[in-house]
């Protein structure tokens, strides 16, 4: 039997999947929906779950938390579409990557399109401060990725540089998911930073996995970071990286001390969604 928050989450996830399907169902592009599936709503949806769980716990209206969750998943999908072109990845969630099936051009253009679909969903909620967060934090992701590619490539990074890149390129979108649940400035600041911390932890785990080259576990092409000279956390020993990762997730919870209900939802997210994925990635 599900607890009440679990039941709400399951219902929210159904609504989210319907919303995601709607995004391409209305255009001529629905003909390409099958090959797009691995990018949208078939992954672990860690960012969407964050927005949904915390939003539900904090009384954010269903329509707003569904739109917020769909928008973070769309932005994430756009970045996967473009990253697969960039890294030359052949497999995503067990099936051929979109560029492999339809060419790099289609993958680039579809990625661009769904960025605007995400912005549209948020604008349509009427929550304009939320739209500002999405624009700002998505910009942080893009700037970090462009910097990693155009400036830092093939320069051995320090651990600190690697963590900073992880924070900006992955943490910022978790921050975006988390901030959607805030009802006032203090909550938003705490949630945004807590999101940054767990997102950084996620990227560090992903960097360790990429360094390990276990493609069966990952369901995607690995070893591409090292091959392309990217700035990643694989610079430090896996054991030290794991310790840092654990402290990031502990610290994220502490930030929500002033709001017990939010903190409880955050802890449930970590225990039931986030940490099981991290442990699976790391082979614990």
Of the two residues 58 and 127, which places its CB atom closer to a second copy in the complex? 127
Of the two residues 102 and 244, which places its CB atom closer to a second copy in the complex? 102
Q: Which of 95, 119, 275, 282 binds a second copy (CB under 8 A)?
A: 119
Q: Rounded to an integer, what distance in angstroms lies between the CA atom of residue 256 and that of residue 192? A: 11
3-state secondary structure of 259: coil
Of the two residues 120 and 183, which places its CB atom closer to a second copy in the complex? 120
123 interacts with a second copy by CB under 8 A: yes
Please choose, out of 3-11, 21-29, 182-190, 276-284, the segment that lies near a second copy by the rule CB under 8 A: 21-29
Site string for a second copy, 30-69 (x = CB under 8 A): -xx-------------------------------------
Of the two residues 130 and 248, which places its CB atom closer to a second copy in the complex? 130
Q: Rounded to an integer, what distance in angstroms lies between the CA atom of residue 14 and that of residue 281? A: 25
Q: Shortest Cβ distance from residue 281 to a second copy (Å)?
A: 24
Task: Write down the number of H helices and E strands in the chain.
Answer: 14, 2
Phi-psi region of 95 (alpha: psi -120 to 50; beta: other; left: phi over 0): beta
Q: Which of 48, 54, 115, 233 binds a second copy (CB under 8 A)?
A: 115
Query: Token match 């092409």: residue?
Result: 221
Q: Are 108 and 239 in contact (CB under 8 A)?
A: no
Q: Which of 38, 41, 43, 111 binds a second copy (CB under 8 A)?
A: 111
Q: Are 281 and 209 in contact (CB under 8 A)?
A: yes
Binding to a second copy (CB under 8 A): which residues in 246-275?
none
Q: Which of 7, 18, 135, 186 binds a second copy (CB under 8 A)?
A: 135
Is the Cα torsion angle 128, 134, 139, 142 positive or negative in sign? negative
Query: Token match 């975006």: residue?
Result: 176
Q: Rounded to an integer, what distance in angstroms lies between the CA atom of residue 66 and that of residue 70? A: 6
Q: How large is the greatest C-alpha to C-alpha distance in the chain, in angstroms? A: 52
Q: Which of 84, 85, 102 is nearest to 93 (CA)?
A: 84
Q: Which of 7, 25, 63, 132 binds a second copy (CB under 8 A)?
A: 132
Binding site for a second copy (CB under 8 A): 27-29, 31-32, 78-79, 82, 85-86, 102-106, 108-113, 115-117, 119-120, 123, 128, 131-132, 135-136, 138-139, 142-143, 145-147, 149-151
């Amino acid at each position: 039997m599900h607890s009440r928050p679990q039941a709400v989450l399951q219902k929210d996830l159904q609504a989210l999947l319907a919303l995601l399907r709607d995004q391409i169902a209305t255009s001529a592009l629905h003909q390409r929906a099958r090959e797009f599936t691995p990018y949208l709503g078939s992954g672990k949806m860690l960012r969407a779950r964050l927005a949904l769980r915390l939003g539900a716990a904090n009384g954010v209206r269903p329509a707003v938390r569904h739109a917020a969750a769909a928008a973070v998943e769309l932005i994430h999908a756009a970045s996967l579409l473009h990253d697969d072109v960039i890294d030359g990845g052949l497999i995503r969630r067990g099936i051929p990557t979109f560029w492999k099936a339809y060419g790099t051009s289609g993958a680039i253009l579809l990625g661009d399109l769904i960025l605007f679909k995400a912005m549209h969903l948020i604008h349509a909620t009427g929550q304009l401060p939320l739209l500002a967060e999405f624009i700002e934090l998505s910009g942080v992701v893009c700037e970090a990725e462009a910097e990693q590619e155009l400036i830092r490539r093939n320069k051995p990074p320090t651990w600190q540089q690697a963590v900073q890149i992880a924070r900006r390129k992955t943490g910022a979108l978790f921050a975006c998911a988390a901030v959607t649940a805030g009802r006032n400035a203090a909550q938003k600041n705490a949630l945004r930073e807590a999101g940054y911390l767990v997102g950084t932890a996620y990227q560090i785990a992903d960097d360790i996995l990429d360094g390990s080259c276990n493609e069966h576990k990952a369901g995607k092409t690995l070893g591409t970071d090292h091959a392309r000279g990217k700035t990643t956390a694989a610079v430090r020993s896996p054991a030290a990286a794991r310790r840092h990762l654990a402290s990031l997730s502990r610290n994220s919870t502490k930030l929500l001390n002033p709001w017990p209900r939010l903190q409880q939802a955050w802890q449930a997210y970590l225990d039931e969604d986030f940490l099981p994925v991290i442990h699976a990635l790391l082979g614990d």
